Amino acid sequence: MTTARRLAAANIGFAVAAFGIAAGMALMQAVSRANLELPWRSPQMYYLSVTAHGVLMALVFTTFFIMGLGVVFTTHALDRPLRWPRLAWASFWVALVGTLAALWAIFWGKATVLYTFYPPMQAHPAFYLGLTLLVVGSWIWSAVIIATYRAWRAEHRETPAPLAVFGMLATIVVWLISTVGVAAEMLLQLIPWSLGWTKTVDPLLARMLFWYFGHPLVYFWLLPAYVVWYTVLPKVSGGKLFSDPLGRMVFALFILLSTPVGFHHQFMDPGISSGWKLLHTFNTLGIIFPSFVTAFTVVASLEIAGRSRGATGWFDWLGKLPWGDPLVSSVLLSMLLFAVGGFGGAINASYGMNSMIHNTAWVQGHFHLTVGSAVALTFMGTAYWLVPKLVRRELELSLLAKVQPYLWFAGMLLFSISNHITGLMGMPRRIYDPSYQGSAIAEAWGGLTGLSALGGLFLFISSAFFLLVMLGTVLAGRPTADTTVAFAEPLEGQPAKRILFDRLGLWIVAAIVLVLIAYAYPLAQHLQMPRFGSPGFRPF
């Protein structure tokens, strides 16, 4: 158990450090977008910063945090140590070395390609090799978690896996299916091209492979947050999980439908016929369903918590929830923000409406409510609950921890709502000079970009509070012996036997069949077409 505790602390510690650096870059960008002068402001600096922020937040903070969480949930819920502890440490080190290589390339100005690294923008090979190692590290972690689960399964043939473990296994399955795409893009296209072994690259093929991975990637982030919502939140707020089978259904549906949807990022791309795009639209509308079920089940669990704390009316259970507990408030506020972000997601996914918002500021508005709130705020709340147990110290600066989620909520509302609106007004995303050299249309965005910068400031202060609490806890927290990681009881008691949703093998096979239906033909069709390669471009 000590290995698991230390390994989880290492992963989460590194995740928090990455978050801290990325938060600093974010403030600079928000100010720059509002066209406020900074002494070192330049296009090169702006794009370097956006790349660092995207990679550190979306790829590094999330992956390491999830690896840490997976270790804790698996060992505690199964009540057994990790299988292959050395390999488990290897997963951390491989991912760490890879991350440092990629960060070296970014901060030395050799990889200004943003977190989606679309070719023909070209980065230093260290960037691609580094990110590949990050994924390899996560594969090793996946193998360790699966092996630990299988050892438990061999002794418990008929028992359903605890929901926390089932959710982590679903996360891993989604991850293993989807990373095939980015591995192919890296190994067959980007790495040989950046090393000069091939002269040109096919950007459209790269985008197809990237988005095959890129959409399920968002559920790799979301599912561990859902595990917290289902299994930790009801416990900490003093209630029970409303329905365990519904939770299993949700995770099984994510295995089934997370991947065959990637074309919803490519509606505006040429070379993919509209029939295939429409199929991916339908699948996307399907994958919204498990999130609706989650909204229902988690809110019902909260109602149980409020009633067991004495509520009797229709809505007073809301007020009875422990809003001052930083885990509870983080998750509740992240859910409220996700309700808005998910609604926007349905608009993005609607083939026609996508043309209104694609490549506009709306998109960063959307993903700061999803990955930046549903996921990041949940993870911060989880850190308040978990880090004291990992380092055996009480939470320090708890007043800051209480305020921080509310600041994040306010900052994110200002930031995201204004970005949604400027997006609808036509403001592109990822643009350095928001004034467009004095264009009248761009002038109309001015007030809103100011609000968005103010939101950025709130978010920055909130991030600083989070980091202070983490540092204070690790360095100066009073020792405690409380290391219990307890999960919510289902209302109907623990399930006695395995149900259809527990049959992981079946869902994996069905998912692979759907992936083949959604991707095999359009990929083959693309490879048959005359293809035009592009040399690499390094804008800076």
Quote the CA–CA distance of 145 and 83 in Å, as a whole number.
Answer: 8
Torsion, CA 158, CA 295, CA 506, CA 68, rounded to 10: -70
Measured from the CB atom, the residue of 49 and 294 that comes closer to ligand HAS is: 294
DSSP β-bridge partners for residue 241: 490
DSSP β-bridge partners for residue 534: 201
The catalytic position among 33, 53, 124, 215 is 215
Residue 362's identity, in one-letter code, is W
What is the DSSP annotation of 86-98?
HHHHHHHHHHHHH
- Please confirm, yes or no, whether 280 is among the known catalytic residues: no
Q: Any contact of residue 366 with ligand HAS (CB under 6 A)?
A: yes
Measured from the CB atom, the residue of 99 and 284 that comes closer to ligand HAS is: 284
Within 240-299, the residues that bind ligand HAS by CB under 6 A are 264-265, 284, 287-288, 291-292, 294-295, 299
* 281, 533 contact by CB (below 8 A): no
What is the three-class DSSP state of 330? helix
Structural tokens at position 358 = 């694609």
Quote the CA–CA distance of 120 and 129 in Å, as a whole number.
Answer: 17
The catalytic position among 207, 265, 368, 393 is 368
Measured from the CB atom, the residue of 33 and 207 that comes closer to Cu ion is: 207
Quote the CA–CA distance of 80 and 490 in Å, as a whole number.
Answer: 22
Beta carbon of residue 218, minimum distance to Cu ion (angstroms, whole number):
6
- Please confirm, yes or no, whether 392 is among the known catalytic residues: no
Measured from the CB atom, the residue of 353 and 513 that comes closer to ligand HAS is: 353
DSSP β-bridge partners for residue 490: 241
Task: Show the site string, 300-329: x = touches ligand HAS by CB under 6 A, - = not.
Answer: --x---------------------------
Which of 74, 99, 354, 462 lies at the binding interface for ligand HAS (CB under 6 A)?
354
- Rama region for 283: left / alpha / beta (φ>0; ψ in -120 to 50; rest): alpha
Structural tokens at position 256 = 């089934």
Beta carbon of residue 501, minimum distance to Cu ion (angstroms, whole number):
24
Measured from the CB atom, the residue of 75 and 378 that comes closer to ligand HAS is: 378
Q: Any contact of residue 215 with Cu ion (CB under 5 A)?
A: yes
Quote the CA–CA distance of 456 and 384 in Å, as a whole number.
Answer: 22
* 32, 46 contact by CB (below 8 A): yes
Residue 210 touches which member of Cu ion, ligand HAS, none, C-beta under 5-8 Å by kind? none
For the chain, the first-to-last Cα distance in angstroms comes to 48
The catalytic position among 429, 458, 460, 519 is 429
Measured from the CB atom, the residue of 203 and 214 that comes closer to Cu ion is: 214
Q: Any contact of residue 353 with ligand HAS (CB under 6 A)?
A: no
Contact residues for ligand HAS, defined by CB under 6 A: 116, 218, 221-222, 264-265, 284, 287-288, 291-292, 294-295, 299, 302, 332, 335-336, 338-339, 342, 345-346, 348-349, 354, 358, 363, 366-367, 370-371, 374-375
Catalytic residues: 215, 219, 366-368, 429-430
Contact residues for Cu ion, defined by CB under 5 A: 215
